[in-house]
Chain A
Amino acid sequence: MASALIICSAGVQLSFAQTYTISGHIADESSGEQLMGATVWCADQAVGAGTNTYGFYSLTLEEGVYDLVVSFIGYAPRKFEINLNQDIRFDIALSPGVAISEAVVTGETFNRIEDQVQMSKMEIPIDQIKRLPAIGGEVDLMKSLQLLPGVQSGGEGTSGLYVRGGSPDQNLMLLDGVPLYSVSHLFGFFSVFNADAVRNMTITKGGYPARYGGRLSSIVDISMKDGNMKSFHGTSTVSILSSKLTLEGPLVKDKASFMISGRRTYIDLLLNPIINSINTSDSDVTTDPRYFFYDFNGKVNWKVGDRDRLYFSIFNGRDDFGLASTETFGTSSSSIDFGLAWSNSVAAARWNHEWGPRMFSNVMLTRSQYNFRTGVEFSERELNADSAASNFQFASIYQSGIEDYTARIDFDFTPNPQNFIRFGASTIRHQFNPGATTLQLDFGAEFPPLDTVLGSAGVSSFESAAYIEDEFQPYERLKLNIGLHGSILDVQDRVYTSLQPRLALNYQLPYGTAVKASFATMTQFVNLLTNEGLALPTDLWVPSTAAITPQQSWQVAAGLAQSFDGLEISLEGYYKKMDGLLSYREGAGFTSGLNENWEDQVTQGEGNSYGGEFLIQKKTGRTTGWIGYTLSWSNRRFDEINSGQWFPFTYDRRHDVSIVILHRLSDQWDLSATWVYGTGRALTLSESVFKTFIPSNFGGTGTDLQGFNLQVPSTKNGYRTSPYHRGDISITKSKKREHTERSWIFSCYNVYNNLNPFFSLVDNSGNGTRVIREYGIFPIIPSVAWRIDF
């Protein structure tokens, strides 16, 4: 496959006369921030080039004089005339702001939806995300992705992503190229991504180019801001849940910059005075609840020379939830402390190098770590009559985690206008700690203390990958992206290999409509063990092992795309087949058998998902937004679940609708509104009861029977909760002064107060019969936030 690609590329290149290349970076004029996805368009030749993640572009043309248009959404486009008689390095700066001439260049711009070979890839500009309504005034990147077709939320208010029938572990969450394993704060109600620190976010749901691998369902690629190269700036937001501060500026003007951003919730600070006032009613008991989360992003980038650039970025986030209680009674006292904490930390060093006008490389060394810890500690102390103290202490601490070290190199190579080749390789060392419990017992001096660790042993593995892809145009109306991704896993003396072909095509119909199709196979070597219906940090990251085979999938998609006067319309259909899916066996869970190996509690199976997605999106003008609709099916089958029969996935959602409108009322007032509708979640409920009798004493006559009342569940996920629908609205008032812009953001979550189901319980009704009730937890929630940019 690789040699075929090279031959193909060479063949195309040989057919050209003398060519030269114009290359460089495209950046924001005011901040120096590199612009990813900006385009350089040569109307004479009807060819163009887009910038990569680092703002680098490379456009190769035959010798001649050309008019070039450089554009990017939200920026005023610029036109240049160039005499291309040698390779030219040309850095371009664009000014933010909607340009009057935007309509003029609309027809000439490159990278419209019908021009892109890549399908199933979507992006919401960060500026739009910041204007969307937010629960508690806290803007959330993951929740904004849930508004896109094919992407669903896990439950009311939660930030988990279920993409085209996949589970959350099948999403590769990249922060500056580094995988993050847990992206949730506050038990999943918020994601760890601070919008003020983020420059760009894209999601790819299918048709994956060969440069991506390692997950079955989506790639969420988030880039942190590089930091302002020109002048010092900051942003601070105060909402009812948290506050955040972002500072950025030059370390050396136009050479090096920094960006730091921190966020902390103050739920604990708000609740503690209330708890303390309750505590005063009983002086013998004190209760000390705690909950907080924080996250911190930092980045430094340095232009070492014209051709080299270094980036160092870090992320650290932590949640800590717990309850401590102390009770005194006479001469004795006891205390208990229950806690649940999880944390992420990421560090990355990257080196960009331009090998010439046609080749760009990025080398990356990264570390990513996720830890989870929960447990209870109990101690009791009693003073005897002779004032001697007797102590009893017990502690049970459960910990799990994963730590990755990654080295990766990527090359972009543009030999001619028709070919854009990417290739690279990576290797990851995974270290998994899939759940271990530390037990400590101390009964005092008379008994020997116990201090032992139960549970699964750690597992380390090496995952390596290499890829090559070529985006080329064999005919005027046809563009192709063909690639091959190979990966290999070495774990527990077993080696898994996988070759994953990728194909995407774009065929332009005469009226400008693009017909797109793609095929991609993916392999995943890490798994998240989770109990369906609960999205908790207790979910366990486990590796493929000698006994657990990797997850694999293939996905085929086809669709139409076209843009009309600022409107982009796309229609896609897809079918995805998954194998090697991992699930707890019936009756198992993360708390089952503390000394059991997790591999004994799981079963592997298969799944499929299929459906259609429609999106109409308006990206420019005073009114922007989109309407998305998804019709989908997603099913699972495991030998040891549901008697081996197929069943609907928990998040199988037949209909999913989202409407997003953002409107600029005036220079001071912005209005945004969203409305979402989704079919109810599939769930398993106890459906019937019966009484059974079994011998309990085999030494008797056989007539000594023991009776049980058993509740019998429905078929797996045989029921549906009520459909989900909700409207949100947000109004922002901004006031610009000489050096600052201050904004009041008024949001209302669930604006028409529709209680959506969050959990279900069997309960007694008023007339003595039993009923099953759905409960909602989020009514209408108004909120206000204040923001200052300086």
Chain B
Amino acid sequence: MTILDVQKVVAGYGAAEEILKEASITVDAGEIVTIIGPNGAGKSTLLKLVAGLMPVRRGTVQFCGRDVTGLDALGRSAAGISFVPQERNVFSTLTVADNLLISAYHDRATAGSRREAMYERYPVLAEKRKALARTLSGGQRQILAMAMGLMSAPKMLLLDEPTAGLSPKAADALFDAVTALNREGMPILMVEQHAVEALEISTRGYVLVTGRNAATGTGPTLAADPEIRRLFLGG
């Protein structure tokens, strides 16, 4: 079953500039899909477009069989799409506990029990519950950002370069957390710089070049493709 179906979307910031030129992408139930590509290919833009933070000029976005092209970020998030930005993805002056709570602002009745579930899933957050988010390490902050994304009980998670700036050890831990989440059935669409590692845990991957689909395949196949390795993965 197709969860997300993005067809030939065109989008950009300025009036004339087009960053995405008819890019298409699908995510099926239970998949991890990774988008890789050179800088400026439009990977993050595509993720923002799916999150509703970027207006769609042409093309369509369907989510769970419903056309969501016209919905803004609030509408997409209500539909079940949860976007975890790359930077500034936690409220740094709030405690870990409040960060989680505020992420389920419209469902305060169940927010407390959902937060308990997050503490159980990610014990480091339980340990740090009273700490301000800005005191967390990079890895802890990314875990918090992901847990915040889960607080709204989404149907799909969008991760924008979740391991950017993390130590190799913290990056591995984060990929483990992503895999564990996916095994429970959460569909995940992510953009990653650590392309090999990301593709190895992915069901499928897309290579995006200058706003267009350049290649696609299963994660391990793409990760092993010598041409792709040479072009985008640094050898």
Q: Do A and B bind each other?
A: no
Which residues of B pack against A, CB within 8 Å?
none
Which residues of A pack against B, CB within 8 Å?
none
